[in-house]
Amino acid sequence: MSRGLVKRLSWIVICLGCGPMWAQGSSSHETSERLFLPKDMFWGYTQFDLAPPHNEPDPNLCRADAGNFGGVNAPCNAFGRYMLSGYVEVRPFGRTELRRFFLFAEPRFVFGKNIPQTLYTWSFDAIGWERSWGFGIYMGKGFEMRVTQHFLFDRLGARDRNLGTADLGVNGPWGRYNVIGVRKYFGQRRY
């Protein structure tokens, strides 16, 4: 064998022992990703929920005894049957330490026309929606710091007015708040 061929073969054998560093070549994922608006910047889910009769979601707009204020014709019938919710996370940076930063939004829509112990329907009338949004920073080892703004429950359609004596007001299930929190992820999800 020629001396040049031996050098090349020995270099290949040494590099094969290097493992993933050799296989990646000179450009890694970190350097090939765009700094702003990377291809995989969105993550999230949507969810549709159906509640069976006698188990309706209560957005806390009407008193539990709303049926006492008009029976099946009570104006305060804002107890849900269906919920449509979701979560969207945007990570606008693909490189540098900025890649740890993210924005998120979490809306939840409630639909139905029910009164506990009085009226149970399959109506898809819009009741309202609650939402929260915020930003966070991934701190490493499964920890995230999040700043969240939660808004009041917004009524939709015919429910966007006072619904009579049983109406509890506009606060909704959680009211309005701001929080700073820490989230810890653990384990591996199986599919």
Give 29 or 64, the one with higher predicted confidence: 64
Q: Mean per-residue pLDDT for 74-80? A: 93
Give the model's confidence band at 5: pLDDT under 50 very low, under 70 low, under 90 confident, else very high.
Answer: very low
Label the pairing between strands 126-140 and 101-111.
antiparallel
Domains of the chain, by residue range, sit at: 1-32, 34-184
pLDDT exceeds cutoff 60 at 95: yes
**pLDDT tens digits, residue range 179-188?**
999 999 998 8
Give the model's confidence band at 110: pLDDT under 50 very low, under 70 low, under 90 confident, else very high.
Answer: very high
Give 12 or 112, the one with higher predicted confidence: 112
How far apart (Å, rounded) are the C-alpha atoms in residues 129 and 151?
10
What SS3 class is residue 25?
A: coil
User: What pLDDT, on a 0 to 100 scale, did the predictor assign at position 20?
Assistant: 40
pTM for this prediction: 0.75
Task: Output the six-digit token pair for 31.
Answer: 């350097």
pLDDT exceeds cutoff 50 at 74: yes
Q: Are 93 and 35 in contact (CB under 8 A)?
A: yes
Backbone angles phi, psi at 13, to 5 degrees: -65, -45
User: What pLDDT, on a 0 to 100 scale, did the predictor assign at position 30?
Assistant: 52
Nearest partner of 127 among 110, 144, 142, 114, judged by Cα? 110
Q: Give percent above pLDDT 90 in the chain.
A: 60
Q: Mean per-residue pLDDT for 96-118? A: 95
**pLDDT tens digits, residue range 13-47?**
344 344 443 333 434 445 567 888 888 899 999 99
Q: Mean per-residue pLDDT for 100-114? A: 96
